[in-house]
Amino acid sequence: MFLIGAENLPSSMYTPLVVLLVVYVVLGLIAARARAHEDTDRSERFDTFQFAVLLVAALYTIVLVISAVFAYPTRSTDMVTIILVIGVFFAALLFVFFLIAEWLPGKLSRREERPPPEPIETRSQAR
C-alpha cells in the first residue's frame, strides 16, 4: 500500500515514466558510443538531450505527486510528514559526513604545526 494514494491512480499514468526511462537509457548509450568514437560534439548533444529527458521526467513526477494528493487528500499530511522526516535525515547525514571529512581528520592528525626554521647564517653573511 502506497502512503500517498498512488494506488488510487490508474497505472497508465505511470507509463510515461517508463517510456522516459527507456529514452534516457538509449540516449546514454548513444552518447557513450559517440564518446568512444571520440565524437565530442555528438556526445555532448546526446548528453544534453538526456538531461532534457531527465527534466521532463522530474516535471511529470511532480504532476503525479499532485494527482496523488488530489486523488487521496487525507494522506497528504502523511506525505508532508514523510518528506520532512527524509529531509531531516539527509541533513543530519550530510552533517555527519561533513564532520567525518573536515573536522575529524584535523583533530586526529598527529602532525603538529611547527614554526618555520630560523635562517642559518652562512660565512658570506657573517662577513
Mean pLDDT of the chain: 83
Range of the domain at 39: 12-71
Residue 38 lies in a domain: yes
Crossing angle for the helix pair 15-36 and 40-71, nearest 10 degrees? Answer: 170
pLDDT at 46: 94
Of residues 58 and 123, the one with the higher pLDDT is 58
Cα–Cα distance measured from residue 102 to residue 104, given in angstroms and rounded to the nearest whole number? 6
Cα–Cα distance measured from residue 6 to residue 24, given in angstroms and rounded to the nearest whole number? 24
Q: Could you tell me if 30 and 64 lie in one domain? A: yes
Q: Give 14-57 pLDDT, tens digit per residue.
A: 889 999 999 999 999 999 999 999 988 999 999 999 999 999 99
Q: Could you tell me if 91 and 51 lie in one domain? A: no
pLDDT at 92: 97
Q: Could you tell me if 87 and 40 lie in one domain? A: no
